[in-house]
Amino acid sequence: MSLAIPPPPGATPARRERRPEFPDWRFAPNIGGHPDTYELENQAVDRAGHVLTAMRTVAPWAGRTLVDLGCGTGYWLRRYAGEAARVVGVEPDPALRPAAQLAADSLPAAEVLAGSAEHLPLADRSVDVVHARFAYFFPPGADAGLAEVLRVLRPGGRLVVVDNDYRWGEFAQLLAAAAPRPPLQTAAVVDAWWRERGAARHEVRSELRFASRADLASVLDIEFPAEVARDWLRRHPAATGLSYGYVLFAVTA
């Protein structure tokens, strides 16, 4: 899944949003506008390693069919393919799918399909695990997408949605500096929405660990307004990473 953090106020994507194939799709300016830079962010998440371990604990995929919903350029497909019996990447953005397909072509039992949260090109009860990382398509009010995921999950199958922890970490502080409304208010609304739908909530404390300070700076530039990113970098002159809290919401079919 593309790690799609909501765009900062005033952010300008590197390419224009195209007319969507799927009406529920929302263009993600961070990965959609800057896929090469976003690859550095995925690598930073991967390098720290905590989130994938937590996801595997919450919903093991060894020997099972896994869907990466909103797979972006397909970065995480290879991490799943090493254990899963079948991996399906679903991506609504036509500009990102070719890269995801290229990643899938080199993997056993992996494929990429055009689709969205509300329009999954999969049969009823055909999937064991669905992953969605930082998904625009599961904020409060997105019941249609949740219903569609539950349609394709087998009984006992599990959806795992990775979201930001707005209460902990340096990344949460950056979100607070850029957010149009108090992050704790956002967190309370999101938590309540998932709780009402029977989701289990799991916190993961981790980090973004970059290979260089230049990589860190380039990622902050696509995730936050320039003044917020520059101020943080000025106050942390030696940083090549930052602490990052995640929340996993898990729903069982």
**pLDDT tens figures, 173-221:** 999 999 988 999 999 999 999 999 999 999 999 999 999 999 999 999 9
**pLDDT tens figures, 225-253:** 999 999 999 999 999 999 999 999 999 99
For domain 29-252, the question of CATH label 3.40.50.150 is answered with yes
**pLDDT tens figures, 12-47:** 344 444 456 888 888 889 999 999 999 999 999 999
Q: Minimal CA–CA distance to 137: which of 93, 73, 100, 88? A: 93
pLDDT at 132: 96
pLDDT at 20: 61
pLDDT at 26: 85
Q: Would you state the structure tokens that stand for residue 88, as one six-digit string?
A: 């399906």
Average pLDDT value for residue range 89-118: 96
Question: For residues 8 and 140, is the Cβ–Cβ distance under 8 A?
Answer: no
Q: Residue 95 pLDDT more than 70?
A: yes
pLDDT at 181: 87
Beta-carbon contacts of 112 under 8 Å, excluding residues fewer than 6 positions away, are 71, 74, 77, 88, 89, 90, 91, 97, 100, 101, 103, 104
Tell me the pTM: 0.90
